[in-house]
Chain A
Amino acid sequence: MEIPFDVANIPGPEMGEVVSPEVIGSYISNAERPLLVVGSEILRDDFFIKIAIEIGKKGIPIAATGHSIRGFVGTEYADNVMYYNLHDLTNCLRDPNWAGLDGKGNYDFVIFFGILYYYASQMLSCIKNFATDPLIRAVSIDRYYHPNARMSFTNITPRREEEYRDMLKRLVKSIRGRQK
């Protein structure tokens, strides 16, 4: 069994699958309304902001939680990113009637990226348990194994940072672009 990043964080019978970047990429490509949710950990290096923007440019809207919005201000992509509190956002996601960031309705596929592990884990738990009809799939592309996500990467230690960055690049590559 995969070890959760916070080792005792074993929620129950339904634990997320560890998958490759390409698998997540293909799910994102096939989703009707995907949403990228980023957190403050993406501020640790510009590389992660760039990855988020590249995903955004494939036509996937970005909700910036925590203080991650700072990373987008001043970039050419600033206008396409919206601040949301993560609790508030997850609360909206669990409501099938929520209008979404663009007023066109809720999402069916949510990607968590750069969010503090334990906060992210709880919000993934909410989505798993309560955003079930219609189903929202939530996945993580962080360097942690997230059992509450439907799909997740494995734990990646700082020593394997380059490998992780490669995985993110592979992910971006594997996402099919869409009309915004």
Chain B
Amino acid sequence: MDEIKKGNLFSIAGLENVRISIGEIVEEEKEWEPMGPHPMPRIATLRDWDFKLLNRYKPFYAPVCDMCCLCTYGKCDLTGNKKGACGIRMDAQQGRIVLLACLVGCSAHCGHGRHLLHDMIKKFGRDVPIDFGPEVDIEAPLTRLVCGIKPKTIGDYDKVFSYIEEQIVQLADALHTGQEGSYMDFESKALHMGMLDSLNKEAADIIQIACYGMPTSLPGGGPDVPLVDVGIGTIDTNKPVIIVIGHNVPPAADIGVYLTENELDDKVELGGICCTSIDTTRVYKKAKIASALGRQLRVIRAGIADVIVIDEQCIRADILELCQKVHSPLIATNDKAMHGLVDRTDDDPDKIVDDLVSGRVPGVVILEPDQVGEVAVRTALQMDKKRRSLKFILSDDEFKYYVNDCILCGGCTLACPAGLHIGEANQSAATGSIKPLADLFDLCVGCGRCEQVCKKHIPIVDVITKAAYPQLKEEKGRMRIGRGPIWDSEIREVGAPLVLGTIPGIIAPIGCGNYPNGTKDAWLIVKEFAERNYIVTLTGCMAIDCALWKDEEGKTLYEQHHGGFGGGGVLNIGSCVSNAHIHDAAIKVASIFAGRNLRGNYEEIADYILTRVGACGVAWGAMSQKAASIASGFNRLGVPAVVGPHSAKYRRAFLGRADLKEDWKLIDATDGSEVYVEPGPQHLLVACETVEEALPMMAKLCFRPSDTDRGRSGKLTHYIDLNLKYLNTYPPDWHLFVRTASDIPIATRNALLKKLEDEHGWEIDWKMKKIKEGPIRGYDPSFNPTNLERLIRGKK
């Protein structure tokens, strides 16, 4: 209100919107919870919280480019933290680029969500109820938390998106030359963008769940969702094949409807790549998941698709060219990715199909999802006949020719983002052993950069695919379909064990497939933590990739482990937008287990999660701008994330300094006293070089200052054990997490107490088996940790 008095026109315009919506909310929502302090926060509203995080987890920058070329003053050389002509320093410029990445990522989810809302309102009306069955009372934790709204129908999401859209524009404004100059403020804005992104995702998933009846807590949902086929080998190429690619499910859903209504569901294969495929399996039972993002180029090149349908995000920009090479007609269904094709929305399906099948056009745009099914299916049926005799996998002779033609120049290796030694593998294939070449298949991220530089014009991707073809045909996994929200009843069951630490933590593998060492790492991460009784919640490409690998009995991890939100569970939550339910689970712990109010109360809940909920995300192959905004959203909510080595190219990390005592000062909310705690979680965003390093790091980032001694001893057991297993040694910092003897696992207590005495100089009372001196702090079961002064209940 103050800002209106100041007469700042710009602020008035911004504030008016907020006032109107708050007015509506207060009017409509009297019945559920008192409004918290921060409904629909603006850029600066949660800045204090951000600065608390950023002062502990200082932004770390590793520029990818030492220059800036965003305005005509430039290019400017910022090397060595120099300033550009506009006065911006290298560190702020890095924050700016991070904000830009988050802007793009957040806009993708927001654009997707808004698009979905338009389509769904058109199809089903505004009044589709948001009701996820008897087990899910808190239907939209992030919407409640950020907006102060309890959405009742999908129409309520109009105002949620309006809020997000306004904030995105304000944040984008800050990127202009001559705006923000502080890297801390750029990061606060990036965190704000991340929070908006998490809200986007929740909104999008809730809308599609509500409209399509995707699994929730009704029978057959939650832990009991069915399994589906995953892998290129599961696609039956004896039938016409439709491949859908992207993230926005309505066109694919329409294909499913058309197949079912025309009794073609056993006659035509509907498979997908990336998140659309995950969401298609939530609406159409017979859908299959051909692959995650990393196999996109190779699935298309393999020529298995009689038609390819794209919607939005993570589609190759050269998709049309690729489709043309294998005679797969392309149907683009989203105005954000039209690839130069003619818009044939509302045109006669007979004509469109005829044009596609005859090859008169390589593809079409159809922007009405409900018109896609018929065209895609009829085209596939006819193309199947035309394409049946075509072969796209190299013949033995072609393969031999190419591997022999390689001159070992090494150009491909320099072009390859993974630095793969392709020439040497070619040489080995030429002299009899194709294994090195076949082994490259899973390490290759399928980008195609190598082929462009090969002086001998060797189709390297095809050569690798040919070498790996026998194993590729056998790539047949199983995974649970995306289950969506975690049930309130499940939270009630695990709330205490999670906060008290007897379930050691939640591990959330999410995101893209730009792995440093192939898909097997995704499997190993899930296996290692599920077997240790962590709750493993997956979304997106990692959910798919981990299902490609099996144990000796031929079972995937989804088949070995239950799908409930409890210790040892392996849960496919769903597509990228579904990963909001992982935020939601943490938020619900605070609400259901600890009775904290959610409404407009982001800061308090984030503080709760940071100090109490031992959750750690892992985006081992993070690639996209969406992954940048997703991670920022997790981070602002107090959830740390481990990323793979490619993610060092995101430029920024949030790293805590275990050696700086002052950084680890918390408040005991009970009496306001200051307490120096152990560094838990030590980092908010950190890259590891290899999976062997990442596994113990994830266990470490599950420590929380609120752990009980029993909980701490469980976490410590896994932290030490994973270090011994993968690094062959004790972690150098394990002692920092010991507060009292009972924090140490009983089985190894004596030996570890001895190590504390010998190696760290701690004083041990051996008679009482107690620690007399050494730890950062003692264990106080009544400690009520917070970072927020306003939560202090009474003064000492």
By a beta-carbon cutoff of 8 Å, the part of chain A in contact with chain B is 3-7, 11-14, 39-40, 65-67, 69-70, 73-74, 78, 82-83, 85-88, 90-92, 94-95, 98-99, 115-119, 122-123, 125-126, 128-130, 132, 144, 155, 157-159
Complex Cα spacing A80 to B62, Å: 29
How far is it, in angstroms, between the C-alpha of A67 and the C-alpha of B692 when the chains are bound? 6
A118 contacts B645, CB within 8 Å? yes
Give the segment of B321-329, B728-736, B788-796 that binds chain A.
B728-736
Query: How close is B637's CB to chain A, nearest CB, in angstroms?
Result: 21
Among A94, A116, A159, contact of B645 (Cβ-Cβ < 8 Å):
A116
Residue on B with the closest CB to A159?
B408
Q: Is the CB of B653 within 8 A of A6?
A: no
Contact of A12 among B65, B419, B726, B729 (CB under 8 A): B65
| Number of B interface residues in the complex (CB < 8 A) | 52
Residues of B within 8 A of A12 (CB): 65-67, 77-79
Q: State how many angstroms separate the Cβ of B372 from the closest Cβ of chain A.
A: 37
Query: Is A116 touching B516 in the complex (CB atoms < 8 A)?
Result: yes
Establish whether residues A11 and B62, one from each chain, have CB atoms under 8 Å apart when the complex forms.
no
- A119 and B688 alpha carbons, distance in the complex (Å): 9
Chain B: minimal CB distance from A148 (Å) = 9
| Docked pose: A12 CA to B93 CA in angstroms | 15
Residues of chain B in range 685-733 having any CB-CB distance to chain A below 8 Å:
686-690, 692-693, 697, 726-729, 731-732
**Interface contact B79-A115, CB-CB below 8 Å:** no
Q: Can you list 10 A-B contacts with CB-CB less than 8 angstroms, sorted by A residue number?
A: A11-B64, A12-B79, A14-B80, A65-B693, A67-B690, A69-B728, A83-B732, A118-B417, A118-B646, A118-B649
Of A6, A67, A87, the residue contacting B648 (CB under 8 A) is A87
Interfacial chain B residues near A86, Cβ < 8 Å: 687, 689
A99-B645 contact in complex given A11-B66, A67-B689, C-beta closer than 8 Å: no
Q: Which of B424, B648, B690, B732 contacts A123 (CB 8 A)?
A: B648
Cβ of B77: which chain A residues have Cβ within 8 Å of it?
12-13
Complex Cα distance, B648 from A83, in Å, reads 19
Smallest beta-carbon distance B44→chain A, Å: 27
B66 A129 Cβ-Cβ under 8 A: yes
User: Quick check: is B634 within 8 A (CB to CB) of the other chain?
Assistant: no
Structural contact, B727 and A69, CB atoms closer than 8 A: yes
Q: Which 7 A-B pairs have the closest CB atoms?
A: A12-B66, A66-B689, A67-B692, A122-B648, A119-B645, A122-B62, A126-B62
> B324 to chain A: closest CB distance in Å?
27
B499 located at the interface, meaning its Cβ lies under 8 Å from any Cβ of chain A in the complex: no
Which residues of chain B are near A40, meaning CB under 8 Å? 689-690, 692-693
| Least Cβ–Cβ distance between A14 and chain B, in angstroms | 5
A79 to B421 CA separation, bound complex (whole angstroms): 35
Cβ B687 vs Cβ A119 within 8 A? yes
B142 at interface (Cβ–Cβ under 8 A)? no
B593 surroundings in chain A (CB, below 8 A)? none
- Contacting residues, chain A, for B648 (C-beta < 8 A): 87, 118-119, 122-123
Contacts A66-B689, A70-B727 given; indicate if A91 touches B653 (C-beta within 8 A).
yes
A95 CA to B657 CA, complexed, in Å: 11
Taken together as a complex, chains A and B put the C-alpha atoms of A11 and B688 apart, in Å, by: 22
Least CB distance from B263 to A in Å reads 51
Q: Report if B90 contacts A (CB, 8 A).
A: yes
Q: How far is the CB of A84 from chain B (nearest CB, A)?
A: 8
- Bound Cα distance A4, B415 (Å): 10
Which chain B residues border A11 with CB–CB below 8 Å?
63-66, 79
A91 and B60 form a contact (CB under 8 A): yes
Q: A87 with B686: in contact, given A12-B65, A69-B728, A125-B64 (CB under 8 Å)?
A: yes
What separation, in Å, do the CA atoms of A38 and B453 have in the docked complex? 31
Please indicate the chain A residues that have their CB under 8 angstroms from the CB of B65 in the complex: 11-12
Bound: A126/B78 CA distance, A? 12
Q: In the assembly, what is the distance between CA of A87 and CA of B731, in Å?
A: 16
How far apart are the CA atoms of A32 and B61 in the complex, in Å? 26
Query: Min CB distance, B81 to chain A, in Å?
Result: 6
A83 touches B689 (CB 8 A): no
Once the chains bind, are A73 and B62 in contact (CB under 8 Å)? no
| Given known A-B contacts A67-B693, A69-B729, A87-B655, A130 and B81 have beta carbons under 8 A apart | yes
Give 18 A-B pairs besides A11-B66, A40-B693, A155-B410 with Cβ atoms closer than 8 angstroms: A6-B417, A11-B65, A14-B80, A66-B688, A66-B693, A67-B693, A67-B727, A70-B728, A88-B686, A91-B58, A91-B653, A98-B659, A119-B687, A119-B689, A128-B80, A132-B80, A132-B81, A158-B421
Q: Does B91 contact A (CB under 8 A)?
A: yes
With A12-B77, A116-B516, A125-B62 in contact, do A85 and B414 touch (Cβ < 8 Å)? no
Query: Closest chain A residue to B516 by CB distance?
Result: A116
> Which of A12, A118, A122 gathers most chain B CB within 10 Å?
A122
- Pick the contact of B419: A5, A65, A88, A115 (CB < 8 A): A5
Given contacts A88-B686, A129-B81, is CB(A117)–CB(B60) below 8 Å? no
* Chain B, Cβ-Cβ closest to A99: B659
Residues of A contacting B646 in the complex (Cβ-Cβ under 8 angstroms): 118-119
Neighbouring A residues of B731 by C-beta, 8 Å: 83
Residue of chain A at shortest CB distance from B700? A85
Q: How far is the CA of A99 from the CA of B659 in the complex (A)?
A: 9
Residue in A closest to B91 when the chains form the complex, CB atoms: A130
